[in-house]
Amino acid sequence: MQYIQSPAVIQADEYEPNLFVPPGYDILWSLVVLVIIGFFFYKFLLPRINAVLDERAAKIEGGLALAEQAQEDAAAARSERQEELARARREAAEIREDANAQAAQIVAEAREQAKAEATRLVETANRQIEAERRTAVVSLRSEIGGLATELSSRIIGEALADDARQSRVIDRFLDELEAGTGEQELADAGVSADTGPADQEK
């Protein structure tokens, strides 16, 4: 038994929708909506997005510029610090050299003062020794003169009351005594010279 399809069924089968190709009115309205969305996006959203991106780019560029400036400042500060350190080292070396020179000068002055003081003390001691020697000679002249007069009076049996005679006797005795003392000193000096530095070191 054959079924006969009606014309309406046949027409419905001919206009069955295609799943891959939408109808023309859908495409049209979709284009209209897309154009409207694109217009609003291009007119309002895109400028804002561009502004935000430009602001971020400006911030990034500013940060990079600040970083470069900070690096330059750090390099300048490091160079200045190195220069200050080198200058401080030079100043310290100069101060050390000046201190050494002053110390050497002070030591030299102290040595000169010590030498001068030692020379002065030696000269003072020599003058004092010479004065004491002269005083001793004068004292010995008086004592020896008296003893010589008394001894002569006893030996020769005469009193040396005459001042001139007494003075002559005393002077002759002292001259002989000084001559004997000078010869003794020369003999002692000769012995000391013969001994030499080697004996003194011993």
% the chain with pLDDT above 90: 24
Picking from 149, 142, 153, 182, the residue whose alpha carbon sits closest to that of residue 168 is 149
Per-residue pLDDT of 75-110, as tens digits, reads 999 999 999 999 999 999 999 999 999 999 999 999
At what angle are helices 163-201 and 46-156 packed, to 10 degrees? 140
Residue 162, pLDDT > 60, answer no
SS3 121: helix
What total of structural domains would you count in the chain? 1
C-beta separation of 173 from 144 below 8 A:
yes
Q: How many other C-beta atoms lie within 10 A of the C-beta of residue 56?
A: 10
Asked if the structure places residue 196 within a domain, the reply is: no
Its domain, for residue 160, covers: 24-184
Asked if the structure places residue 57 within a domain, the reply is: yes
Q: Model confidence at 122, in pLDDT bands (50, 70, 90)?
A: very high
Asked if the structure places residue 4 within a domain, the reply is: no
Asked if the structure places residue 17 within a domain, the reply is: no
Asked if the structure places residue 94 within a domain, the reply is: yes
Asked if the structure places residue 19 within a domain, the reply is: no
Asked if the structure places residue 147 within a domain, the reply is: yes
pTM, two decimal places: 0.34
C-beta separation of 166 from 159 below 8 A:
no
**DSSP string spanning 37-63?**
HHHHIIIIIHHHHHHHHHHHHHHHHHH
Residue 191, pLDDT > 50, answer no
